[in-house]
Amino acid sequence: MPIALLAGAFGQGNLGDDALLQAFVNALPEWDLRVTTGDPAAAEEMGCAPVPARRPAAVASAVRGSDALLVGGGTVFKTLHASSGRRPHALLVNTSALAAVSSALHRPVAMVGVGAGRLGGRRARALSRFIVTHADLLVLRDEESAAEMFGSGIPGPFRIGADPAWTLVVPPDRAPAAHDGAVRVVPSHLANGHDGWAGMVDRLADTLGRLLAMGLAVELQAWQHGDGSTDGDDDAIIEALVGRLGPSLEVVPTPRSMEAAVESMIGTGTVLSFRFHALIAAAVAGVPTVAVVHEAKLGALARRLEQRAAPVDFEPGLLAAQVAEAIEAPGPPPAAIKEQMARAEEGFALLRVLLGGGRSEESDALGALPLAPAPRSSASPSRVR
C-alpha cells in the first residue's frame, strides 16, 4: 500500500480540522496515511499513523519515507496571528520545506481545498510563490483566496474547488425542518477585532442580551476546546457569556462529527457562527446563518450560500438585527449546497488521478473546476496545477 504524508492542523481539539482529516481518509482508502497531529490517539482511531506535528525531525523523516505529500485543506497561505503563539511565517516556512523535500525526491505534492488569508510582506509572498511552483496539484477553496494570491503577485489562474469537509455530509434532498426560533451561537477565540478578545466578548454579550430581550432562545456551542494552557479559548468565551447572562443561555454539547453537527442544528432558528465549518453544518441542516467574518473564508462561504455576513468589528445592535432577520429568512439554496459538494468531490477525484499517475478510472469522468482569475484576465498566466 502506498504511503502519503498528510500535513494539516490536526489533533488540536477543533471539530472542523478533524472533519478535514476524516474527509481525506474517506477519499483515499487505498493509501496508508501518515498524519501530522497533536493528538496521536485520535489519528490512530481514524486508521492513520500519527506524526508528532511539533517534532521537525519526525515530520522530515515521514516526508522522506512517503510516496506523496498532501496538504489537507485549511488556510495555508497566510501569516499567523500573534495569538497563535507562533512566528508569523511559521506555517509558510514549514509547508515550503515539506514541498521542497518531496519535490526533490520526485514525489507528488498536492494541495486540495486550501485557502489564502492576508499575505502581507515580501517574505510571505515569496514563500507562497515557492509553494505554488512546487505543487503538482493545487485546488483553492474559494475565489477570494485566488484573488488574494493573484493580488500578491502569485501568478494564476487557480483551480477553485470547495472545502473537503463538504464530502462528509449528505445532500439536502428533503425539505428542512421548521425553525423553532432558537439562535445557535458558535464562537471562536480567533475572532478578535480592534478591541481584542475581551472587547469581542463584551460586544457578543451585548448582542445576545438584545436577542434575549426579543424573546429569542439562545444556545452556545463550542467547536474547539483548548488544552488549558491558554486563556481565551472557545470554552472561555462561553463561560464568560454564561457568567454575564446567566441560565437564560443554554450550552449545547460539542458534536463529535460533521454528521452529528448537522443533526444537532436541524430545526434551529438561525446560526450565528464565528466558525467556518459550522456554516457548512448549518447549511446542510437547512438553517439560515449569519457569519462573523474574521477570516475571508467565512465571508466567501456566506456569499456562496447566499447568507448574511457581519464584520469582525460588529456593532451589537446591528448584529442582533441581522440575526433576528435571518430567523425569518430561507436557508441556503439546495442547489448552492450541492455545488459545493460536487466541487469538493471533484477536487478529490483530481487528487486520485494525480496519485495514480494519471491512470485512474475517474480520468474520463472528470469535469472542469472553474479557474480564477479567468485566464484571459491574467497578463502572464502560468501553468494551472
Domains of the chain: 3-169+340-377 (3.40.50.2000), 183-333 (3.40.50.2000)
Rounded average pLDDT over 116-134 = 94
Q: Is the peptide bond before 157 cis (omega within 30 degrees of 0)?
A: yes
Neighbours of 358 (CB within 10 A): 8
Q: How confident is the model at residue 380 (pLDDT cuts 50, 70, 90)?
A: very low
Rounded average pLDDT over 324-353 = 95
Indicate the SS3 state at residue 20: helix
Q: How confident is the model at residue 376 (pLDDT cuts 50, 70, 90)?
A: low
Neighbours of 164 (CB within 10 A): 28
Q: Which residue has the higher pLDDT, 28 or 227?
A: 28
What pTM does this model have? 0.93
The pLDDT value recorded for residue 377 is 47
The pLDDT value recorded for residue 362 is 65
Q: How distant, in Å, are the alpha carbons of 61, 219, 329 from that of 81? A: 28, 28, 34
Sequence-distant (6+) residues with CB within 8 A of 202 are: 195
Summary mean pLDDT of the chain: 91
Rounded average pLDDT over 207-220 = 97
Examine the pLDDT at 203 and tell me if it is beyond 90.
Answer: yes
The pLDDT value recorded for residue 173 is 66
Beta-bridged to residue 80, according to DSSP, are: none
The pLDDT value recorded for residue 381 is 45
CA atoms of 60 and 195, how far apart (whole Å):
40
Percent of the chain whose pLDDT exceeds 70? 91
Angle between helices 56-64 and 90-104 (to 10 degrees): 30
Tell me which of 28-42, 70-84, 260-274 is least confident: 70-84
The pLDDT value recorded for residue 379 is 45
CB 220 within 8 A of CB 241: yes
The pLDDT value recorded for residue 227 is 56
How many residues does this entry show for the chain? 385
Q: Of the spans 12-16, 124-128, 151-155, which averages the highest pLDDT? A: 124-128
Rounded average pLDDT over 10-28 = 95
Residue 110: phi and psi, rounded to 5, are -130, 135
The pLDDT value recorded for residue 63 is 95
The pLDDT value recorded for residue 30 is 95
CA atoms of 271 and 259, how far apart (whole Å):
16
The pLDDT value recorded for residue 101 is 96
Rounded average pLDDT over 162-171 = 94
Element housing 63 (H / E):
helix 56-64
Residue 319: phi and psi, rounded to 5, are -65, -40
Q: What is the DSSP letter of 80?
A: P
Q: How confident is the model at residue 171 (pLDDT cuts 50, 70, 90)?
A: confident
The three three-digit cell numbers of residue 52, written as one number: 508528532
The pLDDT value recorded for residue 248 is 94
Q: How distant, in Å, are the alpha carbons of 9, 31, 112, 353, 366 from that of 26? A: 18, 10, 14, 16, 19
CA atoms of 160 and 47, how far apart (whole Å):
29
- HSE of 25, CA atoms in CB hemisphere, 13 A: 19
Rounded average pLDDT over 69-95 = 87
Tell me which of 124-133, 180-189, 359-368 is least confident: 359-368
Indicate the SS3 state at residue 186: strand
Q: What is the DSSP letter of 161?
A: -
